[in-house]
């Protein structure tokens, strides 16, 4: 991994980027777009979802929780393809991201060095101890 | 009372282990100070003026004696031997060391208590009527649904990083003792055509921009509660302002967008969210409800009470102010005042906590409540046992007969503890209480709520005090503004600013002029300060506060 590369975090731990194509910003998206960069101020109910294979939602700051509601809204609309949180997401938020509907988190190499893989794996048990699953009958 | 399930216990153990690791990861640099801050806040840990402060939740204000004893143990073992009960049914420890906090949380977990989401930009400890399950005027006990909301809001993945803090209160009585109209969401349990549900109020709040909440849904069927709450909070999470912390509460979102727009967005979102719930939440609620069933009240002859009331004037004064009608005629609700004249409002020593726990175990079916007015309640006591309870309270300085009177003051911690405060509040409360006690006027004045905040953030609820006092800093000097006519009940009103503020040394005489004006103006003892204010308006009270202005006019 070079210093500039990002790290993809999933339940199994760290891996390198495996999405080969480029991401299209929302305002440039067309019917052919398959990888979308959806800004945090987008309206999740009007984004065209047909044909998308991956959506990336940015976290400019870990303290800005809009992305969690955006992810949940997309899932409630029936979006089932890949959903990625990217940017300043900390290991302590991994379970929240997964429970809100994200499949994976993309972080900088710098953050991955400061919060190494074991700190993320400690939160990979996001399906356990989940009040929402109990209340929704999905436990 | 609610008994933790295995799920709750396992959740809390996991959560506390996570926090212990977060403290270590802060020390080893894995977490920056900026990153650690919201994580400690969502576990109840503040950094105050002199030290850390741990705020422990007392969910919907209900405790049993074992829990109260554990609160006493924390005070002795990790603090300076006392705790401070707050205006939102929490207890605060003002002097813990960071390294001890994980152990404190584990000790709390032993008795099913926690500090989760007592701070931070999260859904806070849900509060409820402190007379729940005992009051004669109650339609339904709000605590089962408050527990359901506690479970729903705890660690909710969408709502741990909201634009700002978010407070929910529930009441099951027409007489609103939970200040529901001053909460981000207020829920009033109501009945319509034989069906039970909720009136949902949104966008209330005090702070620097006080607003009375507005009704967003007049009647919500009880089964729809969680998806509807989730709709409100998720709309707020996307729409609430993140550019200015002082404009980030939902009251501003509602104010800037209008209640109609918010209602449309919430209803649309609600239609979708309803499909995400399948009734499992209501099945859980059905398991919670019987745990709050009333105890088997023991019928007792009230003769000992009647005798003490007739013969002991000290007991009689206490009974007249500190007892409230219980739904069971031979029982009463006892309010224990944590406002002894000259003491810090809301503080209790470990010994006092233990005594109250003992009394709860012996006389009150093992139940205690904490009120938002910073007092402790024994919700069910047989009238026959009241003389014994009163005698025991007297030995610990807990028998002050002042509930609802001028010395039963709500005060925020102010500049004695808080980093945000611009003025002292506790010493002001102490002065007022001691002064009117010395004048022996307190009982003659009757019901009068004074509420004091030491800064514009209004933690002392001054906006809804009959007399509100707001301490500010004017060029390095404390200055106190007075508001009049505020009311936190079902008729909620924000108090009106009376005029220029007073220097600290001029405040007490000003309050006395105000109170003496009331005593002269009232039609009789039955007309309370608030009633007189509503009848007469602000003018005569202003004249009493600012006699020099009146003299100038006359000249």
B410-554, CATH topology level? Sulfite Reductase Hemoprotein; domain 1 (3.30.413)
**How far is the C-alpha of B167 from the C-alpha of B121, rounded, in Å?**
10
Inside any domain, residue A128 = yes
pLDDT at B336 over 50: yes
- Taking residue B542's Cβ as centre, other Cβ atoms within 10 Å add up to 18
Comparing A20-24, B347-351, B416-420, the range with the smallest average pLDDT is B416-420
The alpha carbon of residue A80 is apart from the nearest alpha carbon of chain B, in Å, by: 16
Mutate to test the interface with B, among A129, A130, A138, A139 (most CBs of B within 10 A): A129
- Return residues 12-31 of B near A (CB < 8 Å): 14-15, 18, 21-22, 25, 29-31
Q: What is the pLDDT of residue A1?
A: 43
Contact A83, A71 (CB under 8 A): yes
Which positions in chain B touch A130 (Cβ < 8 Å)? 155
The sign one gets for the Cα dihedral B338, B344, B350, B352 is: negative
Cβ separation of B280 and A132 shorter than 8 Å? no
DSSP conformation class of B294: P
Render pLDDT for B72-90 as a digit per residue (tens, 0 to 9). 999 999 999 999 999 889 9
Q: How far is CA B253 from CA B200, B241, B273, B459, in A?
A: 16, 7, 21, 21
Mutate to test the interface with A, among B126, B154, B158, B235 (most CBs of A within 10 A): B158
Inside any domain, residue A42 = yes
- Of chain B, the percentage scoring pLDDT greater than 90 comes to 95
Q: How far is CA B522 from CA B195, B208, B529, B537, B541, in A?
A: 43, 32, 8, 12, 12
Interchain CB contact of B9 with A (< 8 Å): no
Quote the tokens at residue B214. 């507005």
The alpha carbon of residue A115 is apart from the nearest alpha carbon of chain B, in Å, by: 5
**How far is the C-alpha of B11 from the C-alpha of B7, rounded, in Å?**
6
What torsion do the CA atoms of B74, B75, B80, B85 make, to the nearest 10 degrees?
A: 130
Q: What is the pLDDT of residue A2?
A: 46
Of B126, B123, B77, give the one whose Cα is nearest residue B103: B77
Strand, helix or coil at B410? strand
Of B59, B129, B55, B53, give the one whose Cα is nearest residue B91: B55
pTM for this one? Answer: 0.95
Q: How far is CA B255 from CA B129, B138, B168, B203, B207, in A?
A: 27, 32, 18, 8, 15
- B410-554 and B303-395 share a CATH fold: no
- Average pLDDT over chain A, rounded to whole? 95
Of B234, B216, B222, give the one whose Cα is nearest residue B272: B234
Cβ separation of B226 and A135 shorter than 8 Å? yes
pLDDT at B552 over 80: no
- Structural domains of chain A, count: 1
Hey, where are the domains in chain B?
Answer: 1-120, 134-293, 303-395, 410-554
List b or e across B27-55, with b for residues whose CB sees 16 or more CB atoms inside 10 angstroms. Answer: eeebbeeebbbbbbbbbbbbebeeebbbb
CA-nearest residue to A95 within chain B is: B157
pLDDT at B45 over 60: yes
Edge to edge, what strands does the sheet with B185-192 contain? B127-128, B168-171, B185-192, B195-202, B214-221
List b or e across A8-36, with b for residues whose CB sees 16 or more CB atoms inside 10 angstroms. Answer: bbeeeeeeeeebeeebbeeeebeeebebb
- Which residues are within 8 A (CB) of B337 and not within 5 positions of it... i.e. 6 or more apart? B322, B375, B398, B399, B400, B401, B402, B403, B408
CATH 3.30.413.10 is right for the domain spanning B134-293: yes
CA-nearest residue to B148 within chain A is: A135
In B151-229, where do the E strands start and end? 168-171, 185-192, 195-202, 214-221
The alpha carbon of residue B238 is apart from the nearest alpha carbon of chain A, in Å, by: 6
Cβ separation of A65 and B160 shorter than 8 Å? yes
Helix (H), strand (E) at residue B457: none
Render pLDDT for B228-237 as a digit per residue (tens, 0 to 9). 999 999 999 9
**How far is the C-alpha of B555 from the C-alpha of B552, rounded, in Å?**
5
| Cβ burial, residue B76 (10 Å; 0-12/13-18/19+) | middle
Of A117, A125, A124, A115, give the one whose Cα is nearest residue A14: A117
Render pLDDT for B468-489 as a digit per residue (tens, 0 to 9). 999 999 999 999 999 999 998 8
- Average pLDDT over chain B, rounded to whole? 96
Residues of A at the B interface, defined by Cβ within 8 angstroms: 44, 62-66, 68-70, 72-73, 76-77, 90-93, 95-97, 99-100, 114-116, 119, 122, 128-132, 134-137
Cβ separation of B242 and A64 shorter than 8 Å? yes
Which positions in chain B touch A44 (Cβ < 8 Å)? 238
pLDDT band for position B318 (50/70/90)? very high
- Structural domain boundaries, residue A105: 6-25+32-135
Render pLDDT for B430-461 as a digit per residue (tens, 0 to 9). 999 999 999 999 999 999 999 999 999 999 99
Q: What is the pLDDT of residue A4?
A: 59
Inside any domain, residue A1 = no
Which positions in chain B touch A115 (Cβ < 8 Å)? 25, 30-31
Interface A-B: count of C-beta contacts within 8 A: 105
Q: What is the pLDDT of residue B551?
A: 63
User: How would DSSP label each residue in chain A?
Assistant: --TT-EEEEETTEEE-----SPPEEGGG--TT--EEE--TTS-TTTS--TT-SEEEEEESSTT-THHHHHHHHHHHTT--SEEEEEES--GGGHHHHHHHT-SEEEEEHHHHHHS-HHHHHTT--TTSS-HHHHHTT--
Q: What is the CATH number of the domain that holds A14?
A: 3.40.50
Class of domain B1-120: alpha beta
Mutate to test the interface with A, among B26, B157, B159, B288 (most CBs of A within 10 A): B157
CA-nearest residue to B162 within chain A is: A65
Query: What CATH number does the domain located at B303-395 have?
Result: 3.90.480.20
Render pLDDT for B338-385 as a digit per residue (tens, 0 to 9). 999 999 999 999 999 999 999 999 999 999 999 999 999 999 999 999
pLDDT at B554 over 70: no
pLDDT at B50 over 90: no
Inside any domain, residue A116 = yes
Q: What is the pLDDT of residue B549?
A: 74
Q: What is the pLDDT of residue B157?
A: 98
Interchain CB contact of B156 with A (< 8 Å): yes
Which positions in chain A touch B39 (Cβ < 8 Å)? 92
Q: Which of B121, B151, B237 minimises the CB distance to A131?
A: B151
Instruction: State ipTM.
Output: 0.97
pLDDT band for position B491 (50/70/90)? confident
């Amino acid at each position: 991994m070079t210093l500039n590369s990002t790290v993809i975090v999933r339940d199994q731990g760290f891996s390198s980027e495996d999405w080969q194509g480029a991401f299209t910003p929302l305002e440039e998206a067309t019917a052919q777009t398959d990888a979308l960069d959806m800004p945090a101020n987008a309206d999740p109910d009007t984004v065209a979802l047909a044909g998308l294979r991956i959506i990336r939602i940015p976290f400019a700051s870990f303290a800005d929780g809009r992305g969690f509601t955006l992810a949940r809204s997309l899932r409630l609309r029936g979006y089932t393809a890949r959903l990625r949180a990217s940017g300043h997401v900390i290991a302590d938020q991994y379970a929240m991201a997964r429970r809100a509907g994200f499949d994976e988190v993309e972080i900088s190499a710098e953050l991955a060095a400061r919060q190494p893989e074991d700190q993320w794996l400690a939160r990979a048990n996001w399906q356990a101890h989940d009040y929402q699953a109990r209340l929704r009958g999905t436990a | 009372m609610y008994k933790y399930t295995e799920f709750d216990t396992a959740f809390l153990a996991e959560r506390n282990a996570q926090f212990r690791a977060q403290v270590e990861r802060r020390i080893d640099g894995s977490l920056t100070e900026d990153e650690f801050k919201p994580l400690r806040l969502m576990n109840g840990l503040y950094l105050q003026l002199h030290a850390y402060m741990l705020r422990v939740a007392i969910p919907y204000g209900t405790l049993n004696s074992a829990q109260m004893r554990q609160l006493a143990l924390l005070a002795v073992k990790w603090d300076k031997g006392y705790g401070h009960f707050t205006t939102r049914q929490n207890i605060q420890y003002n002097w813990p060391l960071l390294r001890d906090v994980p152990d404190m949380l584990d000790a709390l977990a032993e008795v099913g208590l926690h500090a989760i989401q007592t701070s931070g930009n999260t859904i806070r400890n849900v509060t409820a009527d402190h007379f729940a399950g005992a009051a004669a005027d109650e339609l339904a006990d709000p605590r089962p649904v408050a527990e359901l909301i506690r479970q729903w809001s705890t660690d909710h993945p969408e709502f741990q990083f909201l634009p700002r803090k978010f407070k929910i209160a529930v009441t099951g009585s027409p007489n609103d003792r939970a200040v529901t109209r001053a909460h981000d969401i207020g829920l009033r349990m109501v009945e319509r055509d034989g069906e039970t549900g909720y009136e949902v109020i949104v966008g209330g709040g005090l702070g620097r921009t006080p607003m009375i909440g507005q009704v967003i849904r007049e009647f919500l069927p009880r089964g729809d509660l969680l998806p509807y709450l989730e709709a409100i909070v998720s709309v707020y999470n996307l729409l609430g302002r993140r550019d200015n912390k002082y404009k980030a509460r939902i009251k501003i979102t509602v104010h800037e967008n209008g209640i109609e727009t918010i209602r449309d967005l919430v209803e649309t979102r609600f239609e979708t969210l309803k499909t995400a719930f399948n009734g499992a939440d209501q099945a859980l609620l059905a398991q919670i409800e019987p745990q709050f069933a009333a105890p088997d009240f023991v019928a007792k002859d009230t003769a000992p009470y009647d005798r003490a009331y007739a013969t002991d004037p000290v007991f009689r004064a206490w009974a007249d102010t500190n007892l409230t009608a219980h739904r069971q005629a031979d029982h009463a609700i006892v309010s224990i005042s944590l406002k002894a004249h000259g003491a810090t409002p809301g503080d209790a020593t470990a010994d006092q906590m233990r005594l109250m726990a003992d009394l709860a175990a012996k006389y009150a079916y093992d139940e205690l409540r904490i009120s938002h007015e910073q007092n402790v309640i024994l919700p069910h006591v047989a009238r026959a046992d009241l003389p014994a309870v009163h005698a025991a309270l007297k030995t610990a300085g807990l028998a002050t007969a002042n509930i609802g009177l001028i010395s039963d003051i709500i005060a925020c911690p102010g500049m004695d503890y808080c980093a945000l405060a611009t003025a002292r509040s506790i010493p002001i409360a102490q002065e007022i209480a001691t002064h009117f006690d010395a004048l022996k006027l307190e009982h003659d004045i009757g019901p009068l709520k004074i509420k004091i905040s030491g800064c514009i953030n209004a933690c002392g609820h001054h906006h809804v005090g009959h007399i509100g006092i707001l301490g500010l800093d004017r060029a390095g000097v404390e200055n106190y503004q007075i508001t009049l006519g505020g009311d936190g009940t079902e008729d909620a009103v924000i108090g009106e600013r009376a005029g220029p503020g007073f220097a600290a040394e001029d405040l007490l005489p000003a309050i006395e002029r105000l109170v003496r004006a009331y005593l002269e103006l009232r039609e009789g003892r039955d007309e309370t300060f608030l009633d007189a204010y509503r009848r007469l308006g602000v003018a005569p009270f202003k004249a009493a506060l600012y006699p020099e202005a009146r003299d100038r006019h006359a000249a």
